[in-house]
Amino acid sequence: MRRNLTKERIKAGKTAYGVFVPMWCPAIIEIIGHIGFDFAIFDAEHGPMGVESCEHMVRAADTVNITPIIRVAVNLQQNILRYLDIGALGVQMPMINTKADAESVVQAVKYRPEGRRGLAAVRAANYGLTGSLADYVREANHETMVAIHVETMQAVDNLKETLTVPGVDVIFIGPTDLSSAMGYPGQVNHPEVQEMIGSLVKEIRAAGKAAGTIAYDLDTLRKCKERGFQYIAYGVGPMIVKSGREYLQVARE
């Protein structure tokens, strides 16, 4: 099984940088891997991709050694299983509001004795053709990564308990949904929203977990680094828009 270099980087106290990819395009995964990003998040929540589409994206990630993480829409064991079996090295689960929600994700991601994921000779296990399944189970439990979202007031209220769940690597603060939950939809830079984000990061880091979030511009990126985020995601859309607009601005002068 391939090493999860993003997980290793975070465990070493460093920051990992990735890109949200909300559309089916293996070539984009290859490009962002060649650029040097650490991970790619295939957005199967807001994006149109299913398991079969994501499998081709995982193959592309394998060729450029970028960590494939899939944002899975529904917190159901058999649903999560299918995305992991194609070779994803982790899942990012939205709308995790309670300790029980977080425990359910970990149980679905990890094999026994750490969880209850179903075992088979799937692509993630090299189809059972190399090594033993027993060895694969140990490797998978070590390499797979769990990121869960905090993006509702219920999740904020229950964060202290959620942080005690073993097996959760990253607590991802979703600023857009959090701003909406706080009564400021779309106003991610509202002072109260920013104050909340700062408070959450401190609590997450104090519990020994890595904090993650989105940074779609350089000012936000700098602030995220100052706050101690270790898992920071850009976006394919903003990347293309920024480059395209700058190009056309010069072209049409």
- The reply to whether 46 belongs to the active site is yes
The CATH number assigned to the domain holding 153 equals 3.20.20.60
Residue 187 CA to residue 225 CA, distance in Å, equals 21
**Would you place residue 47 in the very low, low, confident or very high pLDDT band (cuts 50, 70, 90)?**
very high
158-170 burial string, b = 16+ CB within 10 Å, else e?
bbeebbebebbbb
Whether the pTM exceeds 0.85: the reply is yes
HSE value, Cβ hemisphere, 13 Å, CA-based, for 224: 26
Grade residue 1 by pLDDT with cuts at 50, 70 and 90.
confident
- Residue 179's domain comprises 5-251
Catalytic pick from 34, 46, 142, 190? 46
| C-alpha distances out from residue 126 to 56, 93, 110, 135, Å | 15, 25, 17, 12
- CA gap 211, 201 in Å, rounded: 6
Judge whether residue 177 has pLDDT over 90.
yes
How does pLDDT run across 201-245, given as a tens digit for each residue? 999 999 999 999 999 999 999 999 999 999 999 999 999 999 999
- pLDDT for position 127: 95
Report residue 65's pLDDT band, with 50, 70 and 90 as the boundaries: very high
> 170, 200 in Cβ contact below 8 A?
no
Quickly state the pLDDT bin for 24 (edges 50, 70, 90).
very high
Tokens of 10: 């975070």
The whole-number average pLDDT for the span 78-102 is 97
pLDDT band at 110 (very low <50, low <70, confident <90, very high): very high
Q: Could you give the number of structural domains in the chain?
A: 1
Query: Mean pLDDT, to the nearest integer, of 86-94?
Result: 98
